[in-house]
Chain A
Amino acid sequence: MCLGIPGIVVEVREMTAIVDFGGVRREVDSLLVPDVKPGDYVIVHAGTIISKLDPKEAEETIKAWREVLEAMYEVEV
């Protein structure tokens, strides 16, 4: 039920936004994240934007874990 679908905002309206889900566009509720702008990555749940998605943070998490994993194996050897 708490399924969230990532998409990119293409247009902002008064209380809604048009979000592109990899080709499919849909009008969604933007009341909960009122400062969305075209180009923002967002998570949409049940027709409502619940949060932004930070692509930089997505890369950072993986980078940080790669370092942790490398350190883990170095200690092993």
Chain B
Amino acid sequence: MRKGIHEIVRMYRELSIIRDVVKGIHKLAPRVMKKYGIEKIKIMHVCGTHEHTITYYGLRSLMPEGLELIAGPGCPVCIAPTRIVDEAIELSLNYNVTLLTYGDMYKVPGTKMSLAKARSLGGDVRIVYGFLDAIKIAKKQNKPCVFLAVGFETTQPSVASHVVLRTIPQNLKLLVAYRLTVPAVDYVLNQPDIPLNGIIAPGHVTSITGAKAWKFIPEKYRLPAVVAGFEPLDVLLAILEILKQHLEGKFRVYNEYSRVDSWEGNVVAQKYVEKAFNVVDADWRGIGVIPKSGLELKRMFRNYDSRSMFYIKIDYSIDLPPGCKCGDVTLGKAVPTDCPLFMRGCTPSRPYGPCMVSSEGTCAVWARFGGGGKVKELARILGLNKVV
């Protein structure tokens, strides 16, 4: 009998094995700390969906004393430059353009306003689920449409394929702000003030890049890298594997998400991206320029670039609004509750900074499901952090 899709998902939420894995983590963590003479083990993930799993299932409350799970740069919406948001707003308001965007970008604050606000002022802004929908809408329009192309490695090939195959209607242009997570992780590991003991690599980025993309982590930094899926058991197994590698003293890339990911990745998708885009240095909102971390359309495909049709000069844009700690939150240097604006001046219904917008922004996840010290305190009071 074939398994339904829900049965497969459920296997990775099963309590008995989860309990055993948590027990294992509690056993190994103190040994790792003793081995190195450290008081803290810091494990970073770089994916908004991992943060969602960790916070939604309260996994931090199950961790032993001293083991910290840190959210790294895993939200493409949070780090899309303000300039791009401003440009999209300008297009929708003053150029008679239908602006097509993913839902995540809709409320992201630009310098003066968000796309949502631009729409309320009469801008033609529409939300699409995927690029296929953008193509369908553009075909029905007899005016120019611009697709706001943001996202990481997972998202890029879905547009690159249509660029290379030239299946994009004449009136549909791309405003490209793609960013790459692999160089961003390299950048974070290079920061002296964030000492890390392991990386949980994002399972869906890896479905495209292949697990091989992370081999620089054990090779260059002598740290474990575990590609993980998005169910609670996936994340817990990744943590256990990281601890195991430390005790064994041998570091490698381990693919926990082998039901979806391979070592080589999606070669078809990689080829489309290579053919459509050049890799360039790029700025990340709240962080700055990261070398070779962005994509731009190749010259032969410039006719799809919105800038080939509209020249918009953004004279002034602010990176982050005053007081916003989104940059530090994205790099894992601060947690949302460190920010004085969190749940005061900045809430999911009225986001002030970009990390509060996307369902994958660390601040938005914490706002909805809790997080920070209170979860741990509550777990301590209830005795949940001690696994018997």
A residues sitting closer than 8 Å to B (CB atoms) are 1-4, 6-8, 15-16, 21-22, 27-29, 31-34, 39, 41, 43, 45-48, 50-55, 57-62, 65-66, 69, 72, 76
**Neighbouring B residues of A59 by C-beta, 8 Å:** 11
Are A28 and B130 in contact, CB atoms less than 8 angstroms apart? yes
Nearest CB in chain A to that of B262: its residue: A51
Q: How would you classify the secondary structure of chain B's contact residues: helix, strand, loop or mixed? A: helix
**Neighbouring B residues of A46 by C-beta, 8 Å:** 102, 129-131, 151, 154-155, 158
Q: How would you classify the secondary structure of chain A's contact residues: helix, strand, loop or mixed? A: mixed
Interface size of B by CB at 8 A reads 59
- 12 contacting pairs across A/B (C-beta < 8 A): A1-B150, A1-B151, A2-B47, A2-B155, A3-B49, A4-B230, A6-B8, A32-B266, A46-B158, A50-B204, A50-B207, A55-B259
Which of B20-28, B63-71, B84-92 touches A? B20-28
User: Which of A7, A21, A48 is the one whose CB lies under 8 Å from B158?
Assistant: A48
A41: shortest Cβ distance to chain B, in Å? 7
Question: Once the chains are docked, how many angstroms separate the CA of A54 from the CA of B8?
Answer: 10
Smallest CB-CB A-B distances: 5 pairs: A47-B130, A48-B158, A51-B207, A58-B259, A57-B259
A43: shortest Cβ distance to chain B, in Å? 6
B residues sitting closer than 8 Å to A (CB atoms) are 2-6, 8-9, 11-12, 17, 20-21, 24, 27, 47-49, 74-77, 102, 104, 129-133, 150-152, 154-155, 157-158, 161-162, 165, 167, 202-205, 207-208, 230, 233, 237, 256, 258-261, 266, 268-269, 272, 358, 360
Question: Once the chains are docked, how many angstroms separate the CA of A43 from the CA of B207?
Answer: 9
Are B5 and A6 in contact, CB atoms less than 8 angstroms apart? yes
**Neighbouring A residues of B6 by C-beta, 8 Å:** 22
**Neighbouring B residues of A7 by C-beta, 8 Å:** 5
